[in-house]
Amino acid sequence: MEQKEKQACAIKTSVGGQALLEGIMMKGPFKSAMAVRKPDGEIDVSIWDTKKLTGVRKIPFIRGTFNFIDTLIQGYDCLMKSAEISGQEEEPDKFELWLNKVFGKAAGTVLNFVITILAVVLAVGLFFGVPALITSFIGNYVESRVLLSAIEGVIKIAIFFAYIIGVSKMSDIHRTFMYHGAEHKTIFCYEQGLELTVENVRKQKRFHPRCGTSFLLIVLVVSILVSSVVTWDNVLMRVGMKVLLLPITVGISYEIIKFAGRHDNWFTRILSAPGLWFQNFTTQEPDDSMIEVAIEAVKPVLPENPEDAAY
């Protein structure tokens, strides 16, 4: 009887979040919040209105790109703020001191812009350029464009796996992945209709089908199909065209994970399986103090009517 009642109250929610440095950001239908553990042990909580997509930004296959961009911008902003609140900001190096001298109060904005540009260049080079160069060499021995695109996709996924597994060995990233696990467990607890307590959250799974990790993995798989129509005649042209086609790839991937999140059948379970498996690396079991932070982050974003947060 108890199991039937538990299943009856289970919901699928659109509430989701992101692990930060010693904290978690949660986004609900009306409110978003960020909870970060301060050096003195207290939990700092910030709350703001959730930015909603309007107009053409809500259209299927277009909304995915806007959602992705908004998530990146807000996620980066929260990550920087969490570093400051948690006391993990490092002393400025010579480059930062030079920026402060030249740009004054605008130095932080300039630094963030430089970091963003470098991150984009690195991402394009690592996930577009390197696979294309390696596959172009293999193309001397393989004629099928479809097979070449598949090989390129496998190389891209291998690089992604290697990158995530590599950074997970870093102590700060490992702790962030523990907070990622706390985020998932807290969402599961809410979806099961249970009271948000440390004990109830601790019992939940840390692998969630609507995780951003699963989304990125689907993006990589979809990119194989999209890339199959792009020319192999010139590597630079291929990389450039793939970057231009990225909004299409992201748009398709978003609709796939949206569909998988709303349905539970053999097909969607197959779709979700690779992402759930990969969360073995991107989530770790949290301690109770991390679960406390996750609970403080999610409480302010939960609407009074659970249906308002239905996925």
Give CA–CA dist 84/87, Å, rounded.
5
Domain membership flag for residue 26: no
**Position 80 in a domain:** no
Question: pLDDT value at position 99?
Answer: 61
- What separation in angstroms does the CA of 287 have from each of 20, 21, 110, 209? 15, 15, 37, 22
Does 51 fall in a domain? no
First to last CA, the chain: 26
Question: For the chain, what is the domain count?
Answer: 1
pLDDT < 70 regions, the chain: 1-10, 89-99, 102-103, 105-111
- Pick from 241, 226, 181, 175: nearest CA to 207: 181
Residue 91's pLDDT is: 64
Contact 254, 68 (CB under 8 A): yes
* Span 178-225, pLDDT tens digits: 999 999 999 999 999 899 999 999 999 999 888 887 888 888 888 888
Phi (first) and psi of residue 32, to 5 degrees: -125, 155
Q: What integer pLDDT is reported at residue 7 of this predicted model?
A: 39
pLDDT for the residue 243: 85
Helix H or strand E segment including 264: none
In a domain, 180, yes or no: yes
pLDDT at 95: 62
Q: How far apart are CA 148 and CA 134, in angstroms?
A: 10
Whether 102 maps to a domain, the answer reads yes
Q: What single-letter DSSP state applies at residue 23? A: E
- pLDDT for residue 8: 38
Question: Which residues lie below 8 Å from residue 213, measured CB to CB, with a gap of 6+?
Answer: 275, 278, 279, 282, 283
**Range of the structural domain that residue 296 is part of:** 87-300
Rounded CA separation 88/21 (Å): 8
For residue 277, give the H/E element and its range: helix 266-282
* pTM of the model as a whole: 0.84
